[in-house]
Amino acid sequence: MSATFVGARSIDSDWLGWLKRELAATSARKIRTAVIVAGAALCVIISMALQVPELATSAYMVFFISKESKLLTTVTGVGGIIVLTIGIGATLLLYKFTYGHPELRIPGMAIALFLGMWLSRVLVIGPLGFLLGFVVAVSQSVGEEIPSPELVVRGLLWLWVALTYAIALTVVLNLLFLPDTPKAAEHRPKPKSLFVPDAFTSPAHVHFALKVTFAAMFCYIVYEAIDWSGIHTAFITCTFIALESTEATLYKGTLRIVGCVIGGALALFSIVFLMPHMETIASLVVLVACASAIAGWVATGSERISYAGLQLAFAFFYSVFQGYAPDTDLDNVRNRVVGILFGLVITGFVFQYIWPEKARTAQ
């Protein structure tokens, strides 16, 4: 993946022409975008009607799970539900020992994040290893904000529901409407082991996990120390933009900034000019469908721009969805953007000066 991002930037001075080519329409892209829009809209209807919390996370899962083929989407979705269940169970078990004890909870966060980032490098199905560590670490990071253990358990179980139904919905929609692509996997080599060849011999994997853990925990300690938990997206940013090489990580960070700015601008416009006039779920569904169409079109492009689409959706959903009723509070938009930029700066600095790693062109 690192080599892909290093070679992703256009060397053509005509960047407008490059962007036009990247955004060009294809039949597959139209179908994938339509599926994503339908999934996001259905998440709004289901979560609002049944008052399922974490609507922003549910809607974002549609983007995160949707892949270019039915098989890949199904494998990612089923694996994601299994890993999510294990992660929620692990964090509930961990809370038995860490709730009310930050001296134990913070090291537990760091260990979980380190293991997740290490597994993301050494496992053939790295994203699932990352998801396991990420779920545990993020769940532990909100421990001090929840006043009682009962509310912790309730919140985590609702989070499992919000994520699981969104993942299942996405898989079903892709199976129903995505065209069959039997030739897509014909020439893919089947892995002979669960681990990559140099999983236990290359120190680069450990260095990578340590760098991401350091950057994320530094951000966490800073925003907790200054009592500004609203910028917790800094913690998420450090983990989500990390790639093998410094150059690839910085390029992915650039895509995140672009997506964040566009998504934040759309959210700001919606909150100021549209949300005050919305009284029904139908109007919100139309708004989400329009934003999802823009983000989905970018996200279904090549790896040169697709991450910007995911970030656009992330910034928009987490800024707009602030409850079960229209909300005109602009603090969330400001906090999300500040947190993302803070995480980008810290991650860039760490990857630039601590064990800098060049892109690997061959695996």
Residue 330 identity (one-letter amino acid): L
In whole angstroms, what is the distance from residue 198 CA to residue 205 CA? 9
Given a contact cutoff of 8 angstroms between Cβ atoms, the answer to whether 296 and 37 are in contact is yes
Q: What is the pLDDT of residue 166?
A: 96
Q: What is the pLDDT of residue 160?
A: 94
**Confidence bin at 245 (pLDDT 50/70/90):** low
Residue 359 belongs to a domain: no
Q: What is the pLDDT of residue 182?
A: 58
Q: What is the residue range of 94's domain?
A: 24-180+202-353
pTM for this predicted structure: 0.84
279, pLDDT greater than 60: yes
For the ranges 9-23, 55-69, 136-150, the maximum mean pLDDT occurs at 55-69
List Cβ neighbours of 231 (8 Å cut-off, separation of 6 or more): 223, 335, 336, 338, 339, 342
List Cβ neighbours of 96 (8 Å cut-off, separation of 6 or more): none
Question: What would the pLDDT profile of 25-82 be if each residue is shown by its tens digit?
Answer: 999 999 999 999 999 999 999 999 999 988 988 999 999 899 989 999 999 899 999 9
Half-sphere exposure of 281 (CA within 13 A, CB side): 12
- DSSP-derived secondary structure letter, 274: I
Residue 139 belongs to a domain: yes
Q: What is the pLDDT of residue 158?
A: 93
Q: What is the pLDDT of residue 334?
A: 84
Calculate the alpha carbon distances from 289 to 37, 154, 200, 298, 324 in Å: 5, 30, 45, 14, 17
Q: What is the pLDDT of residue 184?
A: 47
- DSSP-derived secondary structure letter, 123: B
| Two structure tokens written together for 350 | 């760490």
Question: What would the pLDDT profile of 210-239 be if each residue is shown by its tens digit?
Answer: 999 999 999 999 999 998 988 888 898 888
Q: What is the pLDDT of residue 11?
A: 47
Given a contact cutoff of 8 angstroms between Cβ atoms, the answer to whether 53 and 162 are in contact is yes
142, pLDDT greater than 90: no
User: Into how many domains does the chain fold?
Assistant: 1
Residue 48 belongs to a domain: yes
Residue 30 belongs to a domain: yes
Q: What is the pLDDT of residue 115?
A: 93
Residue 188 belongs to a domain: no
Higher-pLDDT residue of 143, 53? 53
Percent of the chain with pLDDT over 70: 87
Question: What would the pLDDT profile of 252-278 be if each residue is shown by its tens digit?
Answer: 778 878 888 898 899 889 988 888 888
Residue 345 belongs to a domain: yes
Q: What is the pLDDT of residue 356?
A: 80
Question: What would the pLDDT profile of 287-312 be if each residue is shown by its tens digit?
Answer: 999 999 999 999 999 888 998 998 89
Residue 195 belongs to a domain: no
Residue 14 belongs to a domain: no
